[in-house]
Amino acid sequence: MHEGFLVYAGFRYLKVATLLCVAAIAVYAWHSPPDEPNGGTWLGYGLGGIGAAIILLLMWFGVRKRRYGTVSKLQGWLSAHVYLGLSLIIVATLHTGFQFGWNLHTLAYGLMMVVIASGFFGIYAYARYPRLMTENRRGITTEEVYAGIGELDRECRQVASTMPDEIASLVLVSCNETRVGGSIARQLSGHDPDCGTERAFAGIRDLAASAGAEHGGDVRKLISLLGKKSTLLRTMRRDVQLKAMLEIWLYFHVPLSFALLAALVGHVISVFFYW
């Protein structure tokens, strides 16, 4: 019933891209330019033109993504984006005629390959993480998790209100110094080495022995509540981590694609300038 963007319309854009690549390779093999193959032959111009057009089309995706209420589906655009983007590996490489050097032209090529590589990671992330997120969540929504944590905090405070100060202050640490998310590195790591709840948990366990017999039951209760809270926190941190993985690559993909665009413009101007 659901059809992902990779299989969209019976792999229409995979077919288009494959055709394009096969045609490019065939013509390249058949073509024998006067000197070695390069961007300056008629085939070079042809492939370069096609490649540049594809890049512009891929860049346009960012604009198209923010146009809402359209007639065509964004899904089709992403499908085309991915397959045509991959076809650039062939089209642009043949366009270079394998002539690389320390110049603007090769910089544009390199940037393009990096953008494509990051796109590749995107595909991997899109294929893998969504399912992991669902499994990790076990049907609970973010709001429910935070409500659950709030409730556990309330219970902890209630239990702690009749307990010695060291323990009560540890409970406050758990309530006030627990964070989910934070810096990008923290999000991607999926845990927090300085988590208030973990510290409180460890501290209370250490104090358990010295807390006195009359507090035994309450200590056990606190430990169990904090244990539950840790489980919820793990779920949320994993959720944040997976969400970050789904997004992080775009922070390379998009800026680099703009750098590519700039390099591409430079490449084209310089070619025509030196001609």
Partner 1 sequence: MTTEFDIVIVGSGPAGLSAAARAAKRGVNHVLFERTDHASDTIYKYQKKKFVMATPDVLPLQSDMQFAAGVREDILGTWDAGLDEHAVNIRYNAEVTAIEGAKGDFTLTVNGNETVKAKHVIMSIGVQGNLRQLGVDGQDWERVQYQLDDPLEYDGETIVVVGAGDAAIENAIGLTEQNEVIIINRKGEFARAKQGNLNAINGAIENEVIECYFNASPARVEPGLLVLKTPEGEAEVKCDRIIARLGANPPRRFVEACGIKFSSDEPSALPELSAKYESSVEGLYIVGALAGYPLIKQAMNQGFEVVETILGNPVRPADEALLEERFAAIEGMAVGEVLEAIQNNVPLLSHMSRLQLREFMLESRIHRVRPKDIIFERNDFTNSVYSIVDGAVDIQINPNDPNEVVTLRTGAFFGEMGLLSGRRRTATILAHEDSILVETPRRAMLKLISSIDAAKRVIDEAAISRQIQTHLAPNIDPALLEEVVSTATIESFSAGDVMIEEGETTDDVYLIRSGSMMVSRRIGGRDVVLSYIPAGNYVGEMALLTEAPRSATVKATVAAETIKVDAGAFKRLLEREPALKSEIEARFRDRLVQNVEVEERPDSGDIIDFLVNQGLGEATDVLLIDEALCVRCDNCEKACAETHGGKSRLKREAGPTFGTLHVPTSCRHCEHPHCMSDCPADAIHRAPNGEVFIDEKCIGCGNCARDCPYNVIHMAYPPPPKPGLLQWLLLGMGPGPGEDKTPRAKPEGARETATKCDMCKDIAGGPSCVSACPTGAAIRVNPEEFFSITASTKSGRA
Footprint of partner 1 (CB under 8 A): 1-5, 8, 65-66, 68-75, 77-78, 125-126, 129-131, 133-134, 137, 139, 141-143, 243, 246
Q: Would you say 38 or 121 has its CB closer to partner 1?
A: 121
Taking the complex as a whole, the smallest distance from the CB of residue 2 to partner 1 amounts, in Å, to 4
What DSSP string describes 70-109? -SS-HHHHHHHHHHHHHHHHHHHHHHHTT---SSHHHHHH
Residues composing the chain: 275
Asked if residue 180 lies in contact with residue 198, where contact means CB atoms within 8 angstroms, the answer is: no
Taking the complex as a whole, the smallest distance from the CB of residue 161 to partner 1 amounts, in Å, to 22
Q: Which residues bind ligand HEM (CB under 6 A)?
A: 55, 58-59, 61-62, 65, 78, 81-82, 85-86, 88, 112, 115-116, 119-120, 122-123, 126, 250, 253-254, 257, 260
Taking the complex as a whole, the smallest distance from the CB of residue 8 to partner 1 amounts, in Å, to 6
Taking the complex as a whole, the smallest distance from the CB of residue 107 to ligand HEM amounts, in Å, to 14
**Which of ligand HEM, partner 1, none sits in contact with 243, Cβ below 5 to 8 A by type?**
partner 1
Q: Would you say 21 or 115 has its CB closer to ligand HEM?
A: 115
Q: Would you say 120 or 129 has its CB closer to ligand HEM?
A: 120
Q: Would you say 201 or 249 has its CB closer to partner 1?
A: 249
**Which of partner 1, ligand HEM, none sits in contact with 69, Cβ below 5 to 8 A by type?**
partner 1
Ranked by CB distance to ligand HEM, the top (closest) residue is: 119
Token pair recorded at residue 147: 């409500």
Long-range residue pairs from 8-11, CB within 8 A, at least 24 positions apart, any chain: 8/75, 8/76, 8/78, 8/79, 9/76, 9/79
Dist. CA 197–CA 207, nearest whole Å: 15
Long-range residue pairs from 113-120, CB within 8 A, at least 24 positions apart, any chain: 113/89, 114/252, 114/256, 115/253, 115/256, 115/257, 115/260, 116/85, 116/86, 116/88, 116/89, 118/249, 118/252, 118/253, 118/256, 119/82, 119/85, 119/86, 119/253
**Which of partner 1, ligand HEM, none sits in contact with 88, Cβ below 5 to 8 A by type?**
ligand HEM
Of 249, 258, 140, the C-alpha closest to 184 is 249
Of 52, 51, 32, the C-alpha closest to 42 is 32
**Which of ligand HEM, partner 1, none sits in contact with 42, Cβ below 5 to 8 A by type?**
none
Collapse the DSSP code of 131 into the 3-class scheme (helix H, G, I; strand E, B; otherwise coil) and give the result.
helix
Taking the complex as a whole, the smallest distance from the CB of residue 143 to partner 1 amounts, in Å, to 8
Q: Would you say 50 or 244 has its CB closer to partner 1?
A: 244
Taking the complex as a whole, the smallest distance from the CB of residue 43 to ligand HEM amounts, in Å, to 21
Q: Would you say 83 or 201 has its CB closer to ligand HEM?
A: 83
Taking the complex as a whole, the smallest distance from the CB of residue 130 to ligand HEM amounts, in Å, to 11
**Which of partner 1, ligand HEM, none sits in contact with 215, Cβ below 5 to 8 A by type?**
none
